């Protein structure tokens, strides 16, 4: 039975977006009222004494700010199969799994149909603004998307990654067919159980339909980079498949082989063309437009922990625009990219006031001396509403969603850069939980990224690059020190790596770090170079835990809860260097 493609009116979506953002405060009150009315019978809300009240004042007075740890007892009962309405009015039947790369293990997050609807609202909104600037019509999309298996918990609930729960919904496929070019790859490739086989076939499908491909995308920029790094290794095998019309024996999944056999026919002319294109490239520069001459742009989440991949992505993309996708998390969506022409480094996101109820904890400090030594001091922990935020200020986001999370602290820090009508436009700053700290130092994921970028410039002079990186605080001896793990693209000289190590140390500009280094309260930074393939091993580790590549993020700060990842990194160290920058 053919799926019905949804009707889609772009002008109507834009008009609705403009209307709701003109009166975001009213829409927020209505959104909260609906969430609380739908879930009034939930045990969690009843125990807090709301008694059916739905106004923001009563809600804030009765319901505390919480983290995932606070809700784990309730979530555990749901996962175990307790059928009562614990967090929501209707029992939760599906759970999402976070990627697990932040805390070292995935966490369960309630998922329901209402959360799926908010996902579709975000997709539609961002699409209309994107398509207005970069129109796509009657083509195909090379989407590097992967759906891990859903499984059943002990209590009989379906569980899978957030992306899997979206991809496996039939309405998602109908909506995406209405929104953009049809995916090159058949469903059997997207839902293949083996990621490596799926990736190979994604690449093969893209080449088969190379003239029709109008965009290249994935959930995260990392997946796009990973795909084309893989292409560099297997391109001759792909060419042979196309030339002979026979799929490589590396693909063993019967359903995938069957689906690919319907697409793959002998095509020596195409094989010769791709071979000449690849042989003519210098260091794979401009690979994507060479392979897909009608591609209009590259699309995926490119902010936050994905920013380090932009340089390599631009190398592959040449002049093709990079468009960053929307802002959300496993717990729910927050904002859409309605300014797609902005480079990813300057991307802003307009909050959709109808998809959740949002509060913002100010991260301000009027004491400049304290501000220099503690960027995370919260002078006023009382959250403000969506329309009460101030331009130029940083906040931690608090979300109330339709799936049982009430006043939930996401741990994301954002900066308000302006307003679209009356709804704020946000710039993602950092994850507040990802910190390198030993003494009075507080270095964020962004600080780490900037340090690696600075040292990476030294490598680039020798035509080398940082493939990926992570960090660790080593407290095994006194004083403790920062450890930076690097996987690099080739062999670097000892002198160059020592210089890189010193540069990494000098590039942390946090006042607390610098002063602590000068008085030896923090020891010399250590650079540990790991063998090629180490970060692939880490990815495989997470895939083994049930994570999906579609939402994988390299763990940037490996703490004690991530002992397996730290073990993988430590076992693959081939060289190490200590900084002499502060000697």
Question: 10-residue block means of pLDDT along the chain (583 residues)?
Answer: 54 92 96 96 93 93 94 91 88 76 69 87 91 88 82 78 69 60 86 90 97 93 94 97 96 95 96 96 95 96 89 95 91 92 94 96 56 42 92 95 94 94 93 79 88 93 92 91 94 94 93 89 94 92 76 83 88 95 86
pTM of the model: 0.85
Q: So what's the pLDDT on residue 370?
A: 34
Q: Are strands 213-220 and 297-301 parallel, antiparallel or unpaired?
A: parallel
Neighbours of 278 (CB within 10 A): 18
| CA within 13 Å, CB half, 99 | 17
Q: So what's the pLDDT on residue 367?
A: 31
Beta strands, E only, 356-493: 357-362, 384-385, 394-400, 408-420, 423-431, 435-436, 443-444, 466-474, 481-488
- Cβ neighbours for 316, distance < 8 A, ≥ 6 positions apart: 224, 225, 228, 284, 285, 286, 287, 288
In the numeric block, which tokens belong to residue 288?
Answer: 């994507």
Identify the bridge partners of residue 436 per DSSP, sorted by sequence position: 443
- The closest of 505, 509, 507 to 523, measured between CA atoms, is 505
CA gap 359, 398 in Å, rounded: 5
Q: So what's the pLDDT on residue 169?
A: 67
Q: Are strands 322-324 and 297-301 parallel, antiparallel or unpaired?
A: parallel
Angle CA(564)–CA(570)–CA(571) in degrees, nearest 5?
Answer: 90
Name the DSSP class of 247: -
- The closest of 32, 101, 69 to 553, measured between CA atoms, is 101
In the numeric block, which tokens belong to residue 567?
Answer: 């073990």
Contacts 24+ apart (CB under 8 A), 431-436: 431/102, 431/304, 431/305, 432/376, 432/396, 433/102, 433/103, 434/102, 434/556, 434/557, 435/557, 436/471, 436/473, 436/482, 436/557
Q: Are 453 and 476 in contact (CB under 8 A)?
A: no
Determine the 3-state secondary structure of 472 from DSSP.
strand
In the numeric block, which tokens belong to residue 385?
Answer: 């509403």
């Amino acid at each position: 039975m053919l799926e019905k493609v949804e009707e889609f009116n772009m002008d109507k979506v834009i008009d609705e977006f403009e209307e709701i953002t003109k009166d975001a405060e009213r829409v927020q009150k209505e959104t909260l009222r609906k969430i609380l009315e739908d879930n009034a019978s939930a045990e969690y809300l009843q125990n807090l004494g709301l008694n059916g009240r739905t106004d923001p004042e009563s809600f804030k007075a009765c319901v505390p700010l919480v983290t995932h740890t606070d809700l784990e007892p309730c979530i555990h009962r749901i996962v175990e199969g307790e059928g009562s309405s614990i967090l929501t009015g209707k029992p939760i039947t599906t759970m999402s799994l976070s990627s697990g790369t932040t805390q070292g293990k995935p966490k369960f997050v309630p998922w329901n149909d209402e959360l799926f609807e908010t996902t579709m609202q975000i997709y539609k909104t961002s699409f209309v603004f994107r398509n207005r600037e970069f129109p796509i019509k009657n083509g195909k999309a090379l989407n590097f998307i992967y759906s891990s298996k859903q499984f059943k918990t002990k209590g009989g609930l379906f569980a899978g990654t957030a992306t899997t729960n979206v991809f496996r919904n039939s309405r998602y496929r109908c909506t995406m067919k209405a929104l953009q070019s049809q995916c090159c790859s058949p469903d059997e490739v997207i839902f293949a159980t083996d990621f490596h086989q799926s990736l190979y076939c994604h690449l093969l499908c893209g080449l088969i339909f190379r003239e029709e491909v109008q965009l290249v995308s994935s959930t995260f920029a990392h997946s796009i980079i990973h795909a084309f790094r893989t292409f560099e290794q297997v391109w001759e095998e792909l060419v042979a498949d196309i030339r002979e019309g026979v799929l490589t024996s590396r693909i063993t999944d019967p359903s995938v082989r069957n689906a690919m056999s319907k697409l793959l026919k002998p095509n020596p002319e195409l094989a010769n063309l791709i071979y000449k294109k690849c042989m003519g490239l210098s260091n794979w520069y401009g690979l994507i437009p060479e392979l897909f001459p009608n591609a209009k742009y590259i699309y995926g989440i490119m902010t936050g922990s994905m920013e380090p991949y932009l340089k390599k992505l631009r190398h592959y993309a040449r002049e093709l625009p990079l468009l960053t996708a929307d802002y959300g998390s496993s717990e729910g969506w927050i904002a859409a990219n309605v300014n797609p022409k902005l480079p990813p480094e300057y991307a802003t996101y307009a909050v959709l006031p109808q998809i959740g109820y949002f509060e913002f904890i100010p991260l301000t400090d009027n004491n400049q001396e304290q501000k220099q030594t503690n960027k995370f001091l919260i002078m006023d922990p009382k959250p403000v509403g969506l329309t009460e935020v101030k331009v130029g200020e940083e906040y931690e986001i608090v979300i109330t969603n339709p799936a049982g999370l009430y006043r939930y602290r996401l741990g994301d820090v954002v900066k308000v850069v302006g307003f679209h009508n009356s709804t704020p436009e946000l710039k993602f700053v950092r994850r507040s939980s990802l910190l390198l700290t030993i003494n009075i130092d507080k270095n964020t994921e962004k600080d780490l990224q900037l340090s690696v970028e600075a040292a990476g410039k030294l490598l680039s002079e020798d035509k080398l690059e940082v493939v990926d990186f992570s960090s660790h605080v080593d407290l095994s001896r006194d004083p403790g020190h920062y450890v930076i793990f690097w996987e690099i693209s080739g062999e670097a000289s000892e002198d160059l790596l020592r210089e890189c190590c010193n540069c990494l140390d000098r590039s942390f500009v946090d006042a607390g770090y610098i002063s602590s280094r000068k008085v030896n309260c923090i020891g010399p930074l250590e650079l540990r170079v790991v063998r090629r393939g180490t970060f692939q091993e880490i990815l495989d580790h997470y895939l083994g835990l049930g994570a999906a590549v579609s939402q994988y993020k390299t763990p940037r700060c490996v703490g004690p809860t991530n002992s397996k990842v730290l073990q993988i990194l430590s076992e693959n160290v081939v060289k190490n260097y200590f900084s002499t920058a502060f000697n």
